[in-house]
Amino acid sequence: MNKKMQLEPLYDRIVVELSDKQELKSETGLTYTKNMSVANNTTMIGTVVATGNGRLMSDGTIVPLLVKVGDKVIFSKMQGESYNDGSTDYTILSESHVLSILRED
């Protein structure tokens, strides 16, 4: 029997499923698609699929994370650790390495 593993990040870590393509919409409604594998691309876009329980402070308290499961985020390509479960690429990184949360208008 093959069990599916579930990633459970610790503290302020998040797991981001990487997007193969980046879609950007202009103010006029045009959609631009950019392949995320381009070597000169310095940022990545992905969807948060798991979060830790919060940032552990020096006094032992835990501060909740701002990033939630389902958020689409931008982060530096050079941050975090890569992980592949055999079919999907993930990056595990600290919430502090997230540059922005992408919100729909």
Question: What are 46-83's pLDDT values in tens digits?
Answer: 999 999 999 999 999 999 999 999 999 999 888 889 88
**Which sequence spans correspond to the domains of the chain?**
13-100
Residue 38 pLDDT: 46
The CATH number of 13-100, from 2.30.33.40, 3.90.1150.10, 2.40.30.10, 2.60.120.260, is 2.30.33.40
Rounded Cα distance, 73 and 76, in Å = 10
Question: What are 9-36's pLDDT values in tens digits?
Answer: 999 999 999 876 656 565 666 665 655 5
In this structure, are residues 65 and 54 in contact, taking their beta carbons and an 8 Å threshold? yes
Q: Is the pLDDT of residue 7 over 50?
A: yes
Rounded Cα distance, 36 and 14, in Å = 20
Residue 48 pLDDT: 96
Reading the block at residue 75, the tokens are 């982060």
What are residue 81's DSSP bridge partners?
92
Q: What is the pTM of this model?
A: 0.76
